[in-house]
Amino acid sequence: MCSRQKFGKRVLKLMGWKAAQEEPIKDSKCILLGVPHTSVVDFIVAWAYCTSIGILPNIMIKKEFFFWPLGWLLKRMGAIPVDRSKGSNVAMHSIKALNQADKMYLAIAPEGTRKKTDSWKKGFLTIAKACNVPIYLGYFNYKFKLAGHGPKFVATGNPKEDLKIIQAHYASLNLEGRHKDRFSCGNVDPVPLEEEPCKLQTEDNIETNA
């Protein structure tokens, strides 16, 4: 276990969080969703969880934030600068970065905002299809302080229908964000992609595994 992974486990524990899935992601490249996204604290939780299972998440951030010493810290945490002043499209930048990398775990918040919204962004589906990489439906539940990378989903090329399936899965998890009133999966019926992640959301299961 490397020092970064040990540090991630320590940070997660100090914050009072637990890893719902401790096994690492086996794919060398993927898109890792982070839901719900209602606070900047989500970034810290997501980073701590990912590093605790042995992966370094990458996130696209405007290059204006990469000033000393913050820029050095952001790069150490896996952040990638994006220059939007030159008309750079984040999706195209992400596709280029994924295609050039041997290993990359691109973290994306599909809601696209920390405010409540039913209209999630479809860009991550376009990126996944273009790069032929899977999507992991990562989550963090502030109610039980549980984080996991969720099941694997493969984009079909129909972003509208894929997004409905993904939102339906998240709706089945009964997730609670740091700010409860800012999270919505839209008008979908809850349908889980697989059983195991949903079991981890019940209070009885938390007590049994404690």
Domain residue ranges of the chain, discontinuous segments joined by +: 3-209
Extract the tokens encoding 171: 């709706």
What's the pLDDT at 1? 67
Structure tokens at 203: 């209070």
Q: Residues 135, 161: contact at Cβ < 8 Å?
A: no
- What per-residue confidence (pLDDT) applies to 69? 83
Reply yes or no: is the peptide bond before residue 24 cis, omega within 30 of 0.
no
Nearest C-alpha neighbor of 91 from the set 50, 47, 136, 121: 121
pLDDT in tens, the chain (210 residues): 688 899 999 999 999 999 999 998 999 999 999 999 999 899 999 999 999 999 999 988 877 877 788 778 778 888 888 776 655 588 888 999 999 999 999 999 999 999 999 999 999 999 999 999 999 999 999 999 999 999 999 999 999 999 999 999 999 999 999 999 999 999 999 999 864 433 334 344 444 344
Measured CA to CA, the distance from residue 162 to residue 181 in angstroms comes to 25
> For residue 88, what pLDDT is reported?
58
Q: Rounded CA gap, 108 and 61, in Å? A: 11
Residue matched to tokens 């589906």: 125
Label residue 118 left, alpha or beta by phi (over 0 means left) and psi (-120 to 50 means alpha): alpha
The span from the first CA to the last CA of the chain, in angstroms, equals 24
Global pTM value: 0.86
